[in-house]
Amino acid sequence: METDGISSAGTRIWRRWPYRKLAESLLEYGVLLFHGSSVAVDGFGYIFAAQSGTGKSTHARLWRELLGERAVMVNDDKVRCSTRGP
């Protein structure tokens, strides 16, 4: 399907462009940016990264339901991870 001469695939790429540029620029500062959900359990972080609609938020919610107060939602969309430590 085309809209104003732009294919739906082209539209998806254009919408992701600012996010990709941000992710690339953060690498210089030792920061990785993921599209995903993250949960902390007992002091350790877990990132569920995947394409949209694959169940990342659901997976994080299930961890929280299973582990109760031990599991804390850290982020549910754009996860930032430092490669340089705290």
Give me the pLDDT at residue 30, please.
Answer: 92
| Whether the Cβ atoms of residue 38 and residue 48 lie closer than 8 Å to each other | yes
Residue 2 has pLDDT above 50, yes or no: no
Cβ neighbours around 7 below 10 Å, total: 11
For 26-43, the pLDDT digits (tens) are 999 999 888 899 999 999
Element spanning 70, H or E: none
Give me the pLDDT at residue 18, please.
Answer: 82
What's the one-letter identity of residue 3? Answer: T
Give me the pLDDT at residue 78, please.
Answer: 87
Q: What is the pTM of this model?
A: 0.69
* Domain membership of residue 35 as a residue range: 2-82
Give me the pLDDT at residue 14, please.
Answer: 55
Residue 1 has pLDDT above 60, yes or no: no
Give me the number of domains the chain comprises.
1
- Give the residue among 8, 9, 12, 57 at the shortest CA–CA distance from 35: 57
**C-alpha angle with apex 85: 58 to 72, nearest 5 degrees?**
25
